[in-house]
Structure 1
Amino acid sequence: MLADDLTVAYGRDETPALNGVSVQILDGETLGLIGEAGAGKSTLARVIAAQTAPGERGTPEIVGGRLRVLGTELRRNSSRRRDALALRVGYLPQDGGSSLQPHLTVGENVAEPIFQRDKHFDRLEAGAVVARLVDAVRLPLSVLERFPHELSRGQRQRIALARALVLEPELLVADDPTMGVDVLVRGPILQVVAELQRELGFSALIVGHDLRELRTIVDRIAVLHAGLVVGYGGVDEVLAHPLHPYVRRLAELSS
């Protein structure tokens, strides 16, 4: 993934949510993205994950620079190419556990993307894929027949992670995967992401709000402030040489 001088707005006449952002995610690398509320983190995550629909109200649109994801240029691209790209990118939205379909079982929720891509996919094979992933996110297979409301918030978040990975994406975009989750569960969720990344070999963008948690699983970080990148590189390097007041505050909190 390569963003070069990327500018994104919610409507061409609006103030940009991202202004001249340049970051890169190398193959197999995990990039952490951190910043205050309103800094543009979720906007960048949505754009990279191709979760946009140009012209549709309330969705971010690339209005400047370029963004290349898995070999696909996203600016001024067709919806067909964007939809094709979305199948290669796993997207875990903020509080992804709440986006599970309440009328479907856990197993059906995880399998749903498989049948959205191919309605004739073999159900036994799909079941095996789902079972492997539920086991991989450290949940018992007994949850497969339960409904989302029967699980804890942390368990639902793990199921949402399994769903995001069910199509074996080349890139995972996880928007603050521990937000709202009990503090005792946050670390294990991030460690599951890191273990699966090492096992499956995908690249990852992990949005977070706690640098102490993020630094345990990422290779590099990008720090956003008011739509601008104000720190970028290895965690220790960024904190040792803060070039912006917000990064200095992060360094003080992390010391």
Structure 2
Amino acid sequence: MIVCAGEGPPAIEVQGVDCSRKGKQILKGVTLTVPKGTVLGLLGPNGAGKTTLIRLIAGLAWPDAGRIRVAGEDASRRSVAFRRRIGLVPQENTLESELTVGGSLLAYARLYGVAHPKVRVREAARKYHLTGFLARRPEEISGGMRRRAVIARAAMTDPDVLLLDEPSVGLDPDLRQEIWALVRTLQRAGKTILLTTHYMEEAETLCGRIAFLREGRLLLVDTADGIRRRAGADSLEQAFLRLSREEEEA
């Protein structure tokens, strides 16, 4: 059975995915459909398998079993067309330390065959308020600005799907609000967004649907209100604590 995250044509299809690393099973029969234009939050404790699932969807690793499709493309083929359909924002800063911010954006645009790469870099810089920072190296700008630059770089190829792994981790509240504003802008542009987060407020604020992953299993997908009602809880955090206990006792 496919666990759905809303209505509409699918942008992401994960079917019966198992994944093991170094003899440990990380994902166990994960099945998930994310319709086009959805912002889905993927929540779960450390070690639940969130980042592994992101990497599999991005085509950076292969599952032991199951199938993954993104915008109709088979992730296992890792074609150029597939790579251009996805924008990945990993947890760590991936701006090249030896390049300026502008140089990193330009190298990415050329790598992915973006037409008129210099023009696209200037457009991205204006859109993401990076114009004054293009000549600086990553260590010369703030953590929030680095995250902004990585998101701009991922979105520069106009992907169908954006995968954001802890997009605001380690940022202070003001910078977190800036990242949230960027996510909303991308959603309004029709992008499908899958983001992992440990912040319940972030999930409630940004995500139309929330998926809960625990010990490699997808336990449920629902709205924040639906999850609270299901758990009989006043807050999303309380709901997940109760659901976790129920899973342990089952």
Calculate the TM-score normalised by the size of structure 2: 0.84
The Cα shift of 1:41 comes to 0.5
Question: Which deviates further from its counterpart, 14-23 or 163-172?
Answer: 14-23
1:115-154 superposed matches below 5 A: 115-118=110-113, 125-137=116-128, 139-154=129-144
1:34 and 1:114 mapped to 2: Cα distance?
31
**Cα distance change on mapping 1:93 and 1:109 into 2, 3 Å:** same
- Which of 37, 41, 45 is the matching residue for 1:36? 45
Q: Answer yes or no: is 1:211 the counterpart of 2:192.
A: no
Q: Answer yes or no: is 1:109 the counterpart of 2:101.
A: no
Corresponding residue number in structure 1 for 2:58: 49
SS in 2 for 1:16: strand
The Cα shift of 1:140 comes to 4.4
Q: Which runs of 5+ in 1 are unaligned?
A: 53-60
- Which of 17, 24, 49 is the matching residue for 1:6? 17
2:38 and 2:168 mapped to 1: Cα distance?
20
1:223 and 1:242 mapped to 2: Cα distance?
13
- Which of 22, 28, 35 is the matching residue for 1:19? 28
Corresponding residue number in structure 2 for 1:233: 222
Q: Which runs of 5+ in 2 are unaligned?
A: 1-11, 243-250
Corresponding residue number in structure 2 for 1:73: 74
1:78 and 1:158 mapped to 2: Cα distance?
30
Deviations 1:100-153, CA, capped at 9 Å, x for gaps: 0111111111122221133xx77xx3232122222322x241111111111000
Deviations 1:152-197, CA, capped at 9 Å, x for gaps: 0010000000011111101100101111222321122022111122
SS in 2 for 1:18: strand
- The letter of the residue matching 1:85 is F
1:225 and 1:251 mapped to 2: Cα distance?
10
User: Contact between 1:187 and 1:213, CA under 8 Å: does it hold in 2?
Assistant: no
User: Contact between 2:19 and 2:64, CA under 8 Å: does it hold in 1?
Assistant: yes
Corresponding residue number in structure 2 for 1:91: 88
Calculate the TM-score normalised by the size of structure 1: 0.82
Deviations 1:22-66, CA, capped at 9 Å, x for gaps: 1111011111101111110000111111122xxxxxxxx311222
Deviations 1:71-108, CA, capped at 9 Å, x for gaps: 1233xx445x3x5412220000013xx21011111111
SS in 2 for 1:90: strand
User: How many pairs align?
Assistant: 228
Corresponding residue number in structure 2 for 1:186: 176
The Cα shift of 1:242 comes to 2.9
Corresponding residue number in structure 2 for 1:160: 150
SS in 2 for 1:62: coil
User: Contact between 2:70 and 2:85, CA under 8 Å: does it hold in 1?
Assistant: no
Corresponding residue number in structure 1 for 2:247: none
Identity %: 29
Deviations 1:202-221, CA, capped at 9 Å, x for gaps: 21101111121121111101
Structure 1 ranges of 4+ moved more than 3 A: 247-253
SS in 2 for 1:31: strand
- The letter of the residue matching 2:84 is L
